[in-house]
Amino acid sequence: MCNIIKRKPITDKQLLYLYNMVIIPRIEYRTQLTILSKRDCDSIIAPFRQLYKNKIHLSSTAPNAILENNFIYKFRDLYEVQLQSKITNFVIQINDQNLLGKITDIRLKQLQHYEWLSKSPLVTWPYNSIQHNQYRSFIAGMLSLCQQQKIDFHVNNDQHNLILGGNLQREIYTILGDDFSKYKKQLRLNNIMFLEQLSSPNGKFLSTWKTIGRKTFTASLARTPKWFKELQRYVLEDHNTRRLQQNYFTDSPSHFKGTEITFPNPHNSAKEFVSIWNPLLFKSSLGRIRMKNANNNTCVIEHWVVDEIASITASPVIKLCTGCNIHHPAFSTIETKSTIHNLYCSNLY
């Protein structure tokens, strides 16, 4: 159009009408699903802006504010037009009650999983500017555009799609901040979203990666990933004891945090180390199996205790018990290296 009207005898009002009523609506229509950056918009309208300045005998270096001033020419800014039209259409889209709204809801749930968020992207969105890869994803780009313009959405509680199981203030993405986008794929593959998944049963220590790798929800990576090393810098109070900072403490859960519980095989003679619930003490006890009886599904367990002197938090040391109140007199004759240890009988399962 610039080439067509370049040499036409046309007034500034006619030229302005062609721009505001023909060019801008056409671009707006053709870019309904394409998000343009401010730089893209300026590049697109630069030829027409230059032509307009020449037609009204202004220098090409004259400020663009002269054209865009509402008291002079009301030259419509393409970027502002895009913001107005796209955000309005997006709000209509997410509030639609028919097929469009249902498809949008499905896409939002897919996006939530891809970005590894604990809530719907309409409620929690970690980007306040459009990322490079979001120019090809309309919904992700629109969410970033709305966040950039400080536009929030009021979403019904039944549409939050909340992921349960952890404290929302201790999500990994809130701790890692801007680095989260680099590691979200690894976290997603390992099903790790909350800090609670990585802490000790009492919620006060951060488990080692070797321990985390044995959880039922992880992919059992051999090497310590980079994101875990970064996380340690943010949450640990003492790297030697692996004690968490107090504001990252969590309550003790009612489950084993993905720790797989295995049982000894009663049909072999292996002498496994085990941990069992001791009904005499009402707590768990450590021990080593000395004898198995597959007929009545029981075993004799040699009691072991934690060595308080040799142990540290990250690497506990256990030793044979030399005597305590759970001694079982029926097994007092079993000896190891001329030393009688406390033994007791327990069910294998």
Work out the pLDDT band at 334, boundaries 50, 70, 90. Answer: very low
Percent of the chain with pLDDT over 70: 90
* Res 102: pLDDT: 94
Checking if the pLDDT of 99 tops 90, the result is: yes
Query: What pLDDT, in 10s, does the model give residues 127-137?
Result: 888 888 888 88
The span from the first CA to the last CA of the chain, in angstroms, equals 83
What is the chain's mean pLDDT, rounded? 84
Grade residue 122 by pLDDT with cuts at 50, 70 and 90.
Answer: very high
Residue 349: pLDDT above 60?
no
Closest CA to 5 of 26, 22, 28: 22
pLDDT digits (tens, 9 = 90+) for 132-182: 888 888 999 999 999 999 999 999 988 899 988 777 668 898 899 888 888
Identify which of 29, 31, 23, 85 has the alpha carbon closest to the alpha carbon of residue 52. 23
* Tens-digit pLDDT profile for residues 56-80: 887 777 777 777 777 677 788 889 8
- The per-residue pLDDT for 95 is 93
SS3 283: strand
Contact present, 327 and 341 (Cβ < 8 Å): no
DSSP 3-state assignment of 233? helix
Predicted confidence band of residue 34 (pLDDT cuts 50, 70, 90): confident
pTM: 0.73
The percentage of the chain sitting over the pLDDT mark of 90, rounded to a whole number, equals: 23
pLDDT at 19: 86
Predicted confidence (pLDDT) at residue 339 exceeds the cutoff of 50: no
Which tops the pLDDT comparison, 185 or 296?
A: 185
CB atoms within 10 A of CB 238: 12
User: Long-range contacts for 150-158 (Cβ within 8 Å, ≥24 apart)?
Assistant: 151/87, 153/94, 153/122, 153/123, 155/120, 155/122, 155/123
pLDDT score, position 128: 86
Average of per-residue pLDDT across 4-18: 85
- Whether the pLDDT of residue 207 is over 80: the answer is yes
Q: What is the pLDDT of residue 263?
A: 83
Report how far residue 81's alpha carbon sits from residue 249's, in angstroms, rounded to the nearest whole number: 48
Strands 273-278 and 339-340: unpaired
